[in-house]
């Protein structure tokens, strides 16, 4: 692959890699509380948990938010980006989930503006205002750089799953080899989910992972922990 498509893919690989300075390693997206509660007693239970987040939970919502931010930016409505940013923050289920998405969002913005500047990008982030959720920050950057939307969502979901698998391995839920086998199965569903999210609007946002949300609240008061969420 050469030309614009290759350049876009390389940008996404850089922005959404574990080495990009957003601090994703510090967050487990509630997995630590689920493990402590006994919900992740096996590799199969972990895979089912992540599958639900991908299909009807926070990962799906984030994918839609990437699309909403991308399209709002492209439409050039001065209030649209601020509206999407406010919605994304409001959807954060609990204090730690809000911290997770806004801290990573601002870190992503800083890194992009410093290392990957493009005309008009700073102004677009200014329109979004503060606080800035991570998927919104990614959607804005992708639109400004002319990176395709579906590819952006695919890369975002891949990174979310990889971060979750890494957190689960550090928690001792799975070993590294089992984590990679799980990722291989889950990633097979990502292209279809990304295509759906790219066509979605705000009315399609929603979650059916109440247990995950409740355990996210519990993590705020967990005595012993290694993650911030």
Which one has a higher pLDDT value, 220 or 65? 65
* Contact criterion met (CB below 8 Å) for 151 and 11: no
Q: pTM for this one?
A: 0.95
Q: What is the mean pLDDT of residues 151-159?
A: 98
Window from 54-63, 111-120, 151-160, 211-220 with minimum mean pLDDT: 211-220
pLDDT, tens digit, 9 for 90 and up, residues 37-49:
999 999 999 999 9
Q: Is the pLDDT of residue 108 over 80?
A: yes
Q: Across all residues in the chain, what is the average pLDDT?
A: 93
Quickly state the pLDDT bin for 224 (edges 50, 70, 90).
confident
Output the pLDDT for position 150: 97
Output the pLDDT for position 93: 86
Q: 3.10.20.30, 3.40.630.20, 3.40.50.970, 1.10.4190.10: which CATH number matches 4-15+27-33+58-219?
A: 1.10.4190.10
Tell me the domain boundaries of the chain: 4-15+27-33+58-219
Output the pLDDT for position 77: 60
């Amino acid at each position: 692959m050469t030309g614009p498509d290759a350049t876009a893919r390389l940008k996404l690989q850089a922005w959404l890699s574990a080495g990009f300075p957003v601090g994703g390693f510090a967050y487990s997206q509630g997995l630590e509380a689920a493990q402590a509660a006994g919900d992740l007693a096996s590799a199969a239970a972990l895979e089912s948990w992540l599958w639900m987040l991908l299909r009807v939970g926070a990962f799906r919502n984030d994918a839609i938010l990437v699309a909403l931010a991308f399209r709002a930016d492209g439409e050039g409505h001065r209030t649209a980006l601020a509206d999407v940013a406010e919605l994304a923050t409001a959807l954060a289920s609990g204090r730690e989930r809000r911290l997770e998405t806004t801290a990573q969002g601002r870190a992503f913005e800083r890194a992009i503006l410093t290392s990957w500047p493009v005309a008009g990008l700073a102004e677009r982030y200014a329109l979004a205002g503060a606080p800035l959720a991570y998927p919104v920050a990614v959607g804005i950057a992708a639109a400004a750089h002319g990176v395709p939307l579906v590819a952006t969502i695919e890369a975002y979901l891949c990174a979310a799953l990889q971060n979750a698998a890494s957190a689960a391995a550090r928690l001792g839920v799975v070993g590294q080899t089992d984590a990679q086998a799980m990722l291989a199965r889950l990633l097979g569903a990502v292209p279809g989910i990304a295509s759906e999210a790219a066509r979605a609007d705000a009315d399609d946002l929603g979650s059916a992972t109440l247990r995950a949300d409740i355990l996210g609240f519990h993590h705020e008061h967990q005595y012993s922990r290694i993650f911030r969420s």
